Amino acid sequence: MTTATATATAVPVRGAGVDAAPARATAQTTAIAFEDVSKTFAVDGREFDALKRVNLSVERGEIFGIVGYSGAGKSTLLRTVNGLDRPTSGRVVVDGHDVGSLNPRDLSRLRQRIGMIFQQFNLLQSRTVYQNVAYPLKHAGVPKGELLDRVEELLDFVGLADKALQYPNRLSGGQKQRVGIARALANRPDILISDEATSALDPQTTGEVLDLLQRVNREYGVTILLVTHEMDVVRRIADRVAVMQRGEIVEHGTVYDVFADPVHPTTRRFVSSVISHEAAESTLERIRRVHDGRLVRIHVGDRGSNDPFLSRIARTHRVDFNVVYGGVSELQSRLFGTLTVELLGADADVDAAVRELAGIVEVTDVAIREGASIA
């Protein structure tokens, strides 16, 4: 566990080891540390801040997702990892090396330890699948026999052994990305960075590529830093996630914590794009037309007991519970969710029931928008 340092801005932080600590203290466990990283571009004679004091650390062996809308600065941040973009201030430390202070030879060596995959695959169209995967190995001077074995192993790993002699234009999008992954793994990198690698793929193919990335992480122990605008990608494979907006990290933490209790409005929007346990205002209005009891939201987390608290409290306080909306999901092998419940009974009994409920789970009253019709 690393020591968290204060971030430049007030960012909701959950879990340990998220913020950047000095490289020497984290070299054992930290794969990538962004330390106060800012990047300013000059656009039409004016300065534009693409990254604003980003502090973040990616631990070895994890899958870390960076999510954000277009223009948030995700790709720029990613490109600082292998020195394609240099921070205007701050530094990026990869495996203990300050990327900005490396000489060209050491930077080139570092780049060999960082694989990269892209939305548009970036394959060499005039080369076969085999040649595409062999390309970085040739570039690194790997002897022919070893190269042959390695390409064979990689094509086997990504399930394309039978496509070795095909050209990229004969492959589906998913197959192209598999070639991209095999190529990125050729030099046995410690880190794989993925820039919207599934954004051009249909949902099923996306799932297959994500499964493959998970195998890359688990079987080869590769740390993965992935950038996406799809929260579902994060939900499916990431351990931790950071949400970016206008060059800043606005929230980060474990995927479970961020999904179970998103704090920043942008995070809430991203989470609700894939999981919606809470009724929208218009739905609430419809619910209200039918249910005129007291509406509360019960926030459900992992509970260590099987106490049937709802029915027990209902009996004790002579109230009825009516579940009118909600859902419970599983993430990282833990449950979370929200149930919107109507309580029916005498006011004093309902109040007492809510009080007892609040001692067991988080409970919030469901507010109705002012002026909403309650027929």
Q: Which two tokens stand for residue 351?
A: 């109040």
Asked if 103 contacts 116 with a C-beta cutoff of 8 angstroms, the reply is no
Query: H helices within 104-172, ranges in order?
Result: 104-112, 129-139, 144-157
What CA dihedral angle connects 364, 369, 372 and 375, to 10 degrees? 10
Q: Which two tokens stand for residue 281?
A: 């205002």
| Residue placing its CB nearer to ligand ATP in the complex, 75 or 223 | 75
Q: Decide: helix, strand or coil at residue 19.
A: coil
Q: Is 68 among the residues that bind ligand ATP (CB under 6 A)?
A: yes
Q: Decide: helix, strand or coil at residue 15.
A: coil
Q: Which stretch binds ligand ATP (CB under 6 A): 42-50, 140-148, 171-179, 344-352?
A: 42-50
Q: Is 46 among the residues that bind ligand ATP (CB under 6 A)?
A: no
Q: Min. distance of Cβ 269 from ligand ATP in angstroms?
A: 15
| Residue placing its CB nearer to ligand ATP in the complex, 72 or 133 | 72
Among 3, 16, 27, 71, binds ligand ATP (CB under 6 A): 71
Q: Which two tokens stand for residue 122?
A: 């970036």
Among 73, 180, 253, 262, binds ligand ATP (CB under 6 A): 73
Q: Is 265 among the residues that bind ligand ATP (CB under 6 A)?
A: no
Task: Pick out residues in 204-233 that bind ligand ATP (CB under 6 A).
Answer: 229
Angle of the 129-139 helix axis to the 173-185 helix axis, nearest 10: 20
| Residue placing its CB nearer to ligand ATP in the complex, 88 or 187 | 88
Q: ∠ CA 325-235-274 to the nearest 5 degrees? A: 40
Q: Is 70 among the residues that bind ligand ATP (CB under 6 A)?
A: yes
| Beta-bridge partner residues of 320 | 344
Residue 137: CB atoms within 10 Å: 20
Among 74, 183, 252, 317, binds ligand ATP (CB under 6 A): 74
Q: Is 41 among the residues that bind ligand ATP (CB under 6 A)?
A: yes
Q: Which stretch binds ligand ATP (CB under 6 A): 10-18, 41-49, 57-65, 335-343?
A: 41-49
Q: Which stretch binds ligand ATP (CB under 6 A): 40-48, 181-189, 218-226, 330-338?
A: 40-48
Q: Min. distance of Cβ 264 from ligand ATP in angstroms?
A: 16
Place of tokens 């223009």: 71
Burial of 104 from C-beta contacts in 10 A (0-12 / 13-18 / 19+)? exposed
Distances in Å between the alpha carbon of 308 and those of 241, 312, 360? Answer: 34, 6, 11
Q: Is 87 among the residues that bind ligand ATP (CB under 6 A)?
A: no
Q: Min. distance of Cβ 74 from ligand ATP in angstroms?
A: 4
Q: Is 50 among the residues that bind ligand ATP (CB under 6 A)?
A: yes
| Beta-bridge partner residues of 94 | 32, 97
Number of residues engaging ligand ATP in binding (CB under 6 A): 13
Q: Which stretch binds ligand ATP (CB under 6 A): 11-19, 65-73, 97-105, 352-360?
A: 65-73
* 266 backbone dihedrals φ, ψ, rounded to 5°: -65, -40
Q: Is 294 among the residues that bind ligand ATP (CB under 6 A)?
A: no
| Residue placing its CB nearer to ligand ATP in the complex, 85 or 278 | 85
Residue 139: CB atoms within 10 Å: 12
Place of tokens 């095909």: 166
Q: Min. distance of Cβ 70 from ligand ATP in angstroms?
A: 3
Q: Which stretch binds ligand ATP (CB under 6 A): 70-78, 166-174, 289-297, 334-342?
A: 70-78
Binding residues for ligand ATP (CB under 6 A): 41, 43, 48, 50, 68, 70-76, 229
